[in-house]
Structure formats: structure tokens, C-alpha cells
Structure 1
Amino acid sequence: MSPTTVHGHVAEQARRTPDAVAVSAGPVRLTYRELDERANRLAHRLRGLGVGPETPVAVLMERSAELVVTLLAILKAGGCYLPVHSAYPADRRQWIVDSSGTPVLVADRTKAGEGLPSAPAVVLADDPADALAGEPATAPEDTTGPGDLAYVIYTSGSTGHPKGVAVTHWDVLGLALDPCWDTGAHERVLMVAPYAFNVSTYELWVPLLHGGRIVVAPPGEPDLDTLRRLIREEEITGLHLTAGLFRVVAEEGADCLAGVREVLTGGDVIVPAAVRQVLAACPDTTVRAMYGATEVTLFSTHSPMTAGHELGTVVPVGRAMRDVRLYVLDDRLSPVPGDLEGELYIAGRGVARGYFGRPDLTAERFVADPFGEPGERMYRTGDLVRRNDDGQIEFIGRAGDQVKILGFRVELGEVEAVLGAYPGLAHVAVVAGQSAQGDRRLVAYVVPAGDAPDPAALRAHVKTSLPDYMVPTAFVVLDALPLTANGKVDRAALPDPDTEPGSAYRAPLNPRQEVLCTVFAEVFGVERVGIDDSIFDLDVQSLLAMRLVSRIRAALGVNLTIRDLFDAASVAGLDEWLEAGARTQ
């Protein structure tokens, strides 16, 4: 009989191919036997700390082979893993740990050195002094069923706090065993997304449940050269890139995907030109558009595209995956006719149990399915879609105050709640706009009760509570917010933010600074950049940073990382950093 849990399938694979490599991370290679045995030992330790059926176990670690061992061990112990995003501010991390009621936090030495949230017990998964060798290498007694929780992933919430989506083993198996993965394209999958992001469900369990290999990218933000190197050296066959990252890769170096059999992309609007660029540069690669949400276990639809595929002005997100039902409904939950616009509801395989410990929020988004069997539910996505002439789903936009930034879902209400707590503000509004490059960004509008606040102070305030991707890139001070006739904020009437640098202009002083100023201005879409203008004043985001690093490397032939760029921050700082590096060579 086929296993009914995620860890049961991995154990079965370890029995079939014990010596095949399951995980690689730099020089580290773990076979399926080694992965299984190491996870078993850690599972026994977790059992001894009180982890049992559906016990949430918080995880705060760098990407590593030990991270994969840890997540598997938590499932083997009967618990569910609860990733804590390393980019979250300390208060947000502590809130997640406290609200989940977890008895254990599993971390590594790197994160322990940076400071950990308080938890009843802490286990360092990579601590050599931690005598896991004394634990049995055999699996603990398994009492987990397919309806038990596998993980809880937190997403942005409109109340000012994130909400945890509770996903079962049955949900994960439904995704990982879908026939769309039977192409042989996912033998070596690159794990590059933050593990607290729902894409990790694909990166972890699709390769392991098919006898493939997880290739773990180094910690930190990836850059184009790192992607290129990993794809070539590790012979990557499948990977996922968010729509924004996919676009940057397509425009800055699509050929780096050559050799990859299948590239998944989604999480926001997919630009047709980017798909064409990748397929032209890599004619043997399939680009598969994906759509879904954390609440429906990552992916619900897909649309494969190959060289010669005819693309119009919109990239459809495709048709339903196996056992998934898609409904395009009006505000009365009636199907809309033909190709008219409606809100997308998803039922069937993958619909999560709900929001962890929040039955009130669960009832709002997980509603009775009037077209299914009694007791079945469907998830209200909040996305407006239509069916095209081929019957495929096309994404149009959001129906409410929820947006995607860098592939992460953001509730504007949560950002407004945090910003509104800043002293001396009478009104706030946060909207999603577009940068000069077409990337989504958040813009905050504030009305002071007295003196005008310093935008830098507002940014610092928000960063203490929210991760970087939820921090507005621009803050605009207004005398009053424009209102509609019924008294609501007229978001369409809000002025565009000033995109020009804010510091006094200082011209470049040497040829290298001239090159850097030119590249900065091109990437940020402004007329000119002075040597003192900070990337933070220029609305930097990780995708723009990747693009900037790629172009600086090409223009100057230097070895530069995204972290180096953020540390230097300005043309003058970067020039000084490059000069110091040249002197030490």
C-alpha cells in the first residue's frame, strides 16, 4: 500500500534507492539513506521534547542540507514545521513563535549568533556537541495520518499581524504527486526561495518524492552569476523563479537557463516578452506558468510553453491541475458566462485546513462549495480572472487590498496598521504602484497631525515590524488624503511619488564613478544620479539590486555581490569599496 504521509514517501524512496544523492549543498552530499537516518535521529530528540501529533515546531535556519534534514525530522516526529522567515524583524519572529504555542525552536549556529526568538526549548541542528549520535537511526513510531498537518506558513494579514496557513500531508502529496511532474524535468531541483515561502513545497517535496535531488543554493540573495554557476555545475533540470525574478533573468542573461529542462514561474503577472526571450535563448527549455496560493498548497493551475509557442499580450496561467476545480464566479457565487471577468474560487485538491488558530479568518476565505459534495469547501482567492478562447485562466488583477510584491503576498491593511502606529500621523494610506522598470512597489501616503515627519524615520519605524518586501519604497506627505463621494480614500487620485534622488547632486569625480552613475540612472529609470545618492533613496528592491549588480559586473568586470551593493549603498561608497579591493589584490 502506498504511504499516506510525506515522510512515509521519503522513507519508501530511501528503501528503493538508498545510495542515490537526495540533497547537495556545496560540498555536502546526503544520500537517501543518510537523509533518512539523520532525520530519524533528530525526530527522536524532538519526540523527547514533547513533539507529537500536529505539534508546531518553529524553524529558523539558513538554507542548508541540515534544513532539509530538520523539516523531514519534524514530520517524522509527528509534528508540523513552522518556518520563521529570517528576513522578519525580531518582534515579528517572536510574535509568530508565541502565537503558535510551539514547544521547540530548531535553529542553526549562524542564526543563534544573530539572536533567536525565545522558546521553551531550542535545538541547534548543526551543533556537533549535540549528541544526536546517541539517538536511534530507525524511525520513531509513526502515528501520523494524511489529514494531519505537515506545515504552517505565515502570510501577510490585514489585522496588523501575519496569519498562518495550515496545510496537511494530504495537501502536499496531492501537489507533489501531480502528473505534471512526470516529465523527468525535476530530477535536480534548485532550492533558492526562502523556505518560509510556499514555493519551498515544490523545491523540497517534488524532487524527494520522485527520487530526485534537492540542490540547495548558498544562503542569501541569489545573483545572476550565482544562478548561472549553480545551473551549470549542478546540472539543474528544474527550478522556480517568481515572475519578477524570471523577468530580470530573461532581460539580463536568459542564456543562463540553457540546460534547464523546465522553468516554473508565477506569483504575479508574467511578462510575455520575458517568456519569448527565454524560449528564444533556450529552445530546449519548457517555461511553465503556474498559479496558486499558500491556502491551496502552492499551485492549482499550470500552462506549459515551449519554443514556437504563440503568445499574445497576456500569459495565461492555464488549466487546473489534477483533482483541482476552478470556479469563476460573480458576487452572488454564480458562474459568470463565457469570457467575462469574475473572481476565482478554488476547490478540490490542495485546499488547506484554514488559518492556524483563527477560525474567524478561516470562515471568511474558506467557504462552502455550492457545486461540490456536502461539506466540501472552496477558497476565495480574491483574484479577478477570465477564461480565454482556449478555456485557460487569465489573471486580470486583485479584487481587494491584497497585492504581490516580489512574489510575496502583502495585505495593504497590515502595512497601514503598522505605519499608522507612528506618532503624529492623522491618516495613512498604502497603495501598490509600479517603478519605472514595471516592477511592483509599495508607496505610503501620510497626513501629519502636526509637523511633517521625516520619511527616513517612517521607513525605520516600519522596518522594525515588517520584512523588507513589505516596507514602502516611497513615503509621500500630504495635507489631506483625497476622498471619493462616499468618503473613502480615492486611491486613483493619489499623486505619483517623486522618483528623483533626494540628496544634493554631486557629479562623478573619476571615470569609474561616471560609469557607475550611468548604470545607476539606467537601472533606476531616473535622469541622473549623483555619487552621494543612496540606493535606498532610489527605491531599491532585491530585483533591481540583482539587475544593478549584473550590469556593474558587465560594465567594470568586477566581482560584486548584492550584499556588497547594499553595504556600499551609493556610487561614492561603491567606488571606495572597489578601490579598497583593488589595493588589496
Structure 2
Amino acid sequence: MVSPSIHGHFTQEAVRTPDAIAVSSGEVQLSYRELDERSNRLAHRLRELGVRAESPVAVLMERSVDLVVAILAVLKAGGCYLPLHSAYPLQRKQWILEHCAAPVLLADEVMRGRGLPEGADVVVVEGEKGLTGYPAHDPAVGIDPAQLAYVIHTSGSTGEPKGVAIAHRDALGLALDSMWADGRHERVLMVAPYAFNVSTYELWVPLLHGGRIVVAPAGDLDVHALRRLVAEERITGIHLTAGLFRVLAEEDPSALAGVREVLTGGDVIAPAAVQRVLEHNPGLVVRAMYGATEATLFSTSAPMTAPYRAAGPVPVGRPMDNVRLHVLDADLRPVPAGAVGELHLAGRGLARGYFGRPDLTAERFVANPFGAPGERMYRTGDLVRMDRDGRLEYLGRANDQLKVMGFRVEPAEAEAVLAQYPGLAHVAVVARESDSGEKRLVAYYVPESGGIEAGALRAHAVELLPAYMVPTAFVAVPALPLTPNGKLDRRALPAPVASSARRAPLTDRQRALCTLFAEVLEAPEIGIDDSFFELGGQSLAAMRLVSRIRSLLEVDLTITQFFDAPTVAGLDGLLGRPEGEQG
């Protein structure tokens, strides 16, 4: 009998291969039987706390084996999991918890120590602690395939995040797609933040096919750490955002040695990066993926193998099982092959809508004139064209929404947060693209009177926005330039200018570090006290810089250490006195 639920399919795997390892993190590992029984016990605890069908259960934990137990337990209790990103400001976590009226919050000791949102019963998940008195058998809660499995929040144009509500049948449609049948994703590295949609692949593709989730250590990873994990854990399948894939291709393409298939997407994929990775890993399959949280992560794919030559854009491929693509004009009429139109998705994977927001749901999920009565399609807002062979090419956005480091960003949400700062008359957040193709957010603001310190405005943003939505530069302007139609004239906005007052390097190592900083930031000059992040650096650029510092200076530097000392002077002190230098 085919189970209608995610956890039902997992249970079938646990019966089939009970002693196989389901999830591991370093020395900690659980077999399918152990994961099944531990999640059953926690599910009984959740039922005791009142979790019922579609009860949102918030999850705020670091990446760990316990995290996988927690998410599985929520489903077994009949609830839907509501992941909270550990890097979110506390106020954003609180808003999500209250908006969804989550009665229970699953946390770990680390997150509890950092401060938890209020208003829900807190259960600390730590191994079998507090669970031994609960039954190890399944609570056997009846599940309808249309019942919600999870709610994942994305950036919202109204100034508040919006929760995308996905049912069991939609997540199962992705996890059981025929694309995974070749066994290439036997050992999947869980490396993405679990509060983002890629976790749907990292969790359920391995677990519903008898494979293993290998949980990466908590915190940020650099290129060196990824190489080590891939080799030591014998990873066969991995997802990397287009930006991270590009960094890995440039800095250390052989880090993917042994991987059978790497999925990449979330933004425009660099053809040169695909070519370089395949040249170093001829047995690898690089699969370009396209999709949206509102359509359960992935909707199309395009496999690429060696020999590969970078010639033109990387297509995002053809539809996955039971997905239908419609490339339409503004009047919802199909455009001819080769013409540009907005992509609409139908069939497998469409979300129920935005949790608690029927107005937004009606705006983005519209009637499908090409389907049966009652069918819907999702307006992606993405401009694409389809060739005569049915392959899709992604061209960009039809609206103001942006992709930054693979994350969806609504500039209006960042603008709404910044507009709360006292004394601000107008603000606009735009993306500026560097020579290497990386997008960086820049905030342009007009004070009502007097001056507003950029540092104070940045601190305000850091307190209320996720890190990837905080602008990398804040530029004061006397007025926002407008077009003749009264819209913001983005082309007339000035480029951010770095301060001219900076301290010059004094030693050979400081000079080498300044050169590397300038190289990665694409800046003409760097002072030893300039913060990498205040100059526009982001996490992907930081990974690139750390890799080059390790290579050039032959030092053991981690991305976490760099985040703690993001200036040349700070790094120089962290690295200590160079060998041979006299005191």
C-alpha cells in the first residue's frame, strides 16, 4: 500500500532496511530503526502537548542529527514543521511564531542559550533526554495527502515575510521523482539552512530512498571544509547554489571528486563554472535546477556531463515528472518558441498558498486556462524562453524581486524595515552587480533633516533583517532620482564610494592581505582597518577570500575565524607573527 505521507514512506524504508544508517554527523549516527523509534517518542510528546492535524510546530535548532529527529517527529504527530532560521533576528522569529500561532517550539540548548521567541511551549531536543518514558511505536495518526507538511517563509513585498504552505503530496512528488532513481543521491550532504526550501531535497530524497543524510557541522563552511567533508563522508549527491558552485569552480573544482551528481541553481549558472568543474571531475553529472518554494523547490532540470564547452547560457532544462510549464505573455497567451514570456508552473508541487494570506495567494496562484476546471498555476515572475526542443532558458525577473546569494529578496521588505528608522524621509534598496556578476544590495536614503549615520542605519537593519537582506552599503542622497513617469531612476543612483581616510599596510603580510581583499572585493584600494563586510563583502566572497589566503600565505584559516576578524589588521593579529620575523 502506498503511503499518503512523507513519514509513512520513511517508515516503509525503516521496515525494509532497519539497520542501515539513516543520518550521521561526525561520530553520531542513527540507523533507520533508531531514527524511527526516537522520532516516534518525540511525536508522542508533541501529541501530549496538543499537536494535531496541521498544527504548526516551530523548529529552531542548529544543524544536527537531533534536527532530523525533530522534523520527522512533527510530521508523525500530524503537525506541519515551521523552520526558523537560526540567523534570523529575534524579532523576525517572534513575528513568524505569532503569525502562524505555533503552539510548540522545538529547540536545542545552543538556541535556547541565544534567546528564544516567546509564546509557545518549548521542548528541548537533545538525544533521548526526556523521551525514554514515551512509546517507541508510531502514533499512527491518519494523514490526508493534502494535509500540510511544512511552512517555509520567504521575503515578502509587503514588508513582512510570507509563509509558503506545502502539503505532503507535493513534497512526495518531488522526493519520489524518477530523477532520483539512479542512486546518485545515496549519501547527501545537508549543508543548506534548513529554513530554506533546499532542505526538502536534503531531507527527503535520501530518507525516502534508503540513503543517508550526512549533516554538516553547525555554522558556516568554507571551501576547505567542504572538500574535507565530501572526501571523508564519501558524499555522492549535493546541492550548491549557483554562487557557491561558481566559488568552488574558481577556487577548488577538485573538491567535488567522488561526487556523482551536483545540483545547482537558484540564480543564473555560470557556463565557465560548469566547464571547469566537469574538466576536473569527468565522471560527475552537473544538473541545472529551476524551481520556486511555491512549487516545492524543483520543477525543471538539465543534466550536463563532460565533455562540456561553455557556449551561451546554461539552460534550466525540461519539466520533472507531472510538472507543466506555460510561457505566457501579459494576457496569459502562450508565446511562440524562442520568444520571451513569464513562466507559469502547473501540475505537481503547487503550494496551497501563503499561510494566513489569502490576498497574496490569489495574486500569485491563478486559474489555469489550460487545465481542468479548478486547476491553478503559479505566476513565477521569471522571464524565460523555451526552445523548439522544450528546453527552458532563465533570463531574469519580470518584477522587482531579486536573487542575492541564491536567496529571494523583495527590496520592498528591506525598504519597509529601513523606513521605520526615525528621521528618514525616503529610502530605496537596489541591487548593484559587480564585475564578477555577484549582486550586492545598496540602500539609498534621504534624511528628513540633518544627517543620519550610515552605521546607525546599518545597525537598525541588522537587528530586524536576515543577514542576506542587509544592504552592504548605505548611501545618503539629497533626493531619490525619478524618471519622467515618476518611478525610481536606478541608473541615476550614484555608485557607493569608499572612505578616502584609511590606514596603509606596514608589513609584507599586510600588503599581501590588502591585495587579496581588493581583488575579491573588486576595489582599487583597501586599508588595514576596512571591514570586509562594510565594503560590500558577502559570505560567498568571504569563502573565496579565505581560500586564497590559505593558499597564498599557507595558513590554517577558517571562515568562522574570518567572520570574527574581517579586517586586514584583525586577520594579521589573528595569524600571529610570521616565521622569521624578529620582535
How far residue 233 of structure 1 moved from its aligned partner, in angstroms, is 0.5
CA distance in 1, matches of 2:488, 2:223: 40
Contact preservation (8 Å) 1:503, 1:532: no
How far residue 503 of structure 1 moved from its aligned partner, in angstroms, is 5.9
| Aligned-partner residue type, residue 503 of structure 2 | R
Aligned to 1:347: 346
How far residue 581 of structure 1 moved from its aligned partner, in angstroms, is 11
Aligned to 2:259: 260
CA distance in 2, matches of 1:275, 1:338: 26
Residues 338/530 of structure 1: CA separation in 2 closer, same or farther (3 Å cut): same
Deviations 1:525-577 (A, max 9, x none): 11221211111222110001101111111111111112211211211111111
How far residue 490 of structure 1 moved from its aligned partner, in angstroms, is 1.5
Aligned to 1:33: 33
Aligned pair partner of 2:558 in 548, 557, 561: 561
CA distance in 1, matches of 2:163, 2:376: 18
Contact preservation (8 Å) 2:165, 2:354: yes
Aligned to 2:438: 439
| Aligned-partner residue type, residue 152 of structure 1 | V
Contact preservation (8 Å) 1:251, 1:274: yes
CA distance in 2, matches of 1:81, 1:318: 31
| Aligned-partner residue type, residue 481 of structure 2 | P
Contact preservation (8 Å) 2:275, 2:309: no
| 1:301 and 2:300 aligned | yes
Aligned to 1:315: 314
| Aligned-partner residue type, residue 505 of structure 1 | R
After the TM superposition, which of the residue ranges 418-427 and 12-21 deviates more from structure 2? 418-427
How far residue 10 of structure 1 moved from its aligned partner, in angstroms, is 0.4
Q: How many residues align?
A: 580
Runs of 4+ off more than 3 Å: 580-583
CA distance in 2, matches of 1:357, 1:527: 49
CA distance in 1, matches of 2:383, 2:35: 43
CA distance in 2, matches of 1:581, 1:81: 50
Aligned to 1:59: 59
CA distance in 2, matches of 1:49, 1:468: 33
How far residue 367 of structure 1 moved from its aligned partner, in angstroms, is 0.5
| Aligned-partner residue type, residue 257 of structure 1 | L
Identity over aligned pairs, percent: 65
| Aligned-partner residue type, residue 292 of structure 1 | G
> Secondary structure at the residue paired with 2:464?
coil
CA distance in 1, matches of 2:355, 2:237: 31
Pairs within 5 Å for 1:255-404 = 255-404=254-403
| Aligned-partner residue type, residue 173 of structure 2 | G
> Secondary structure at the residue paired with 2:540?
helix
Aligned to 1:548: 545
Deviations 1:420-479 (A, max 9, x none): 111112111111121243211111111121123211111111111101100111111111
| 1:523 and 2:520 aligned | yes
| Aligned-partner residue type, residue 226 of structure 2 | L
Aligned to 2:405: 406
| Aligned-partner residue type, residue 93 of structure 2 | R
Unpaired segments of 5 or more residues in structure 1? none
Pairs within 5 Å for 1:101-116 = 101-116=101-116
Structure 2 length normalisation: TM-score?
A: 0.98
> Secondary structure at the residue paired with 1:464?
helix
How far residue 123 of structure 1 moved from its aligned partner, in angstroms, is 0.2
Residues 132/34 of structure 1: CA separation in 2 closer, same or farther (3 Å cut): same
Aligned to 1:539: 536
Contact preservation (8 Å) 1:437, 1:524: no
How far residue 157 of structure 1 moved from its aligned partner, in angstroms, is 0.5
CA distance in 2, matches of 1:515, 1:441: 25
CA distance in 1, matches of 2:391, 2:195: 30
Aligned to 1:186: 185
How far residue 127 of structure 1 moved from its aligned partner, in angstroms, is 6.6
Contact preservation (8 Å) 1:161, 1:414: yes
Deviations 1:114-144 (A, max 9, x none): 111113300000176x420010000002211
Contact preservation (8 Å) 2:66, 2:127: no
Deviations 1:34-89 (A, max 9, x none): 00000000000000001010000000000000000100000000000000011110
CA distance in 2, matches of 1:324, 1:336: 19
Contact preservation (8 Å) 1:428, 1:444: yes
CA distance in 2, matches of 1:118, 1:176: 34
Deviations 1:379-422 (A, max 9, x none): 00000001134321111110111111111111111011111111
Contact preservation (8 Å) 2:149, 2:168: yes
Aligned to 2:81: 81
Pairs within 5 Å for 1:493-508 = 493-498=492-497, 500=498, 502=499, 504-508=501-505
| Aligned-partner residue type, residue 42 of structure 2 | L
After the TM superposition, which of the residue ranges 313-322 and 554-563 deviates more from structure 2? 554-563
